[in-house]
Copies of this chain bind each other. A is one copy, B any other.
Amino acid sequence: MDNPFFTNKGPVKISEILDILNLKSLNLNIEQLVKNVKDLQNAETNDISFFHSKKYKNLACNTKASFCITTDTLKNDLPVNCKPLIVENVLASTSMITARFYPDSITDNFDETCENINQTSFKDKVKYGKNILLGSNIKIGTNCSIGHNSIIEKNVVIGNHCNIGSNTIIRNSIIKNNVKILDNCVIGKHGFGFFPNKKKNSRYPHIGIVIIEENCEIGCGSTIDRGSMSNTVIGKNTYLDNQIHIAHNVKIGQNSIIAGQVGIAGSSIIGENVRIGGQAGISGHLKIGNNVEIGGGSGVIRNIPDNTKVMGYPAKNIREFLRDNKWYIKQL
C-alpha cells in the first residue's frame, strides 16, 4: 500500500505488542523488533499482520509477516514463518497495534499547520482565490487553481492542471493531473470506522489515503473518505456528480460515471466503465465488475459480474426487474 503520509513510529518490541494486547509472552524472543503493521499481502519479514476471516485464507497461507493477529480457529492457515497472536477480536486488536505504529492516523481535528497561501512559496505558482489555507507537506504542480476559502490541509500532492473549487477541504490525498474537484467537498478525512462500545466507541486508525487518478471530476458537496488499512482510489477519467459519498477503502475503476447522491459503502471495489444512476447505493465489501450499469435508486447488496445491467432494491438483473414490473412497463 502506498502510504506516504503517516509516520511509522516503529520498530516496536514484540514484548510491547504483547503488553498492548494483554497476551502472555508465549515462546517468543521478547526483544525482537517489529517494523510495521500491514495487511497479509503487503507484510514483509519482521512485520505484523492480521487475519480475521476465512475469506482471506489464500493470502494468509502466503504471507511473509513474522507475526499475525488472529483467532484460534484461523491460526492453522498461517505459514510456519508467521507466529500467530491469538486474540478475541482481531480487528479491535489490530486497531490498537496500528495506533501504536501510526498514532497520527486516528484523529482528524483541524490542521494547525495551515497558513494563508500568501505566506507560502505557492503564492507565485498557483492561481488562487481569497482566504486559501495550506498545511504542511503539500506539493502542487503547474497550472493549478484553488478557489476561495478552500483548505488544503497537510499531506496533499496535487498534480498539474488541476482545479480545486471553493469551500473545499482536502487532506491525506494524492490528486493526479487534470483533476477537477468542485465546491464544498471534503476529501481525505477518516472513514466511519470504529469499534462500538457501550461507554465510548473507539476509532480505528485510518492509515490509508485518497488517490484520485488523472482526468477525474468530483462534484459539489461530495465526500471521499481515506482508507483504513488500504487506500480509497478513484480511477482515471471517472466523473462523480454532486453530493456523492465514497466511503473508506473503496476503489473505483477508470472511465466510470456516477450520478448525484450515490453512496458507496466501505471497501467495495467498482470496475471500469461502470455507470451508476442517481441515488443508487452499494453496500460494503462488494465487487462490481467492469462495464456494469446500475439503475438510479438501486440498492446493490451483492457482487455484480462484468457486463451486467442491474436495477431495483435489492438490485437484480434488468431482465428480472422488467419481468417483475411487467404490469408497470406495459403502461409506459
Contacts and interface: CB of A to CB of B under 8 A. Distances in A.
Interface string A87-131: 000000000000000000001111110101000000000010111
Given A196-B255, A201-B239, A260-B192, A328 B316 contact: yes
B313 A313 contact: yes
A178 B151 contact: no
A328 B114 CA distance: 51
A-side interface mostly: loop
Interface stretch (A29-37, A63-71, A161-169): A161-169
A148 B149 CA distance: 9
Nearest to A331: B302
A242 B189 CA distance: 10
A308 interface: no
A245 B260 contact: yes
A169 B192 contact: no
A259 interface: yes
Contacts of A245: 241-243, 260-261, 278
User: Which of A147, A217, A225, A332 lies at the interface centre, i.e. has the most chain B CB atoms within 10 A of its CB?
Assistant: A147
A184 B241 CA distance: 17
B263 A263 contact: no
Copies of this protein chain in the complex: 3
A184 B186 contact: yes
Contacts of A182: 108, 186, 189
A247 interface: yes
A279 to B, nearest CB: 4
Contacts of A184: 167, 169, 184, 186, 221
A281 interface: yes
Contacts of A242: 186, 192, 223, 225, 245
Contacts of A211: none
20 contacts: A109-B163, A112-B127, A129-B133, A149-B149, A166-B169, A182-B189, A192-B219, A192-B239, A192-B241, A194-B239, A198-B237, A200-B215, A221-B243, A223-B243, A243-B245, A260-B265, A261-B261, A278-B281, A281-B297, A312-B313
Given A111-B129, A199-B215, A313-B313, 11 more contacts: A109-B147, A109-B165, A110-B129, A110-B146, A130-B131, A182-B186, A183-B186, A242-B245, A265-B278, A278-B283, A283-B296
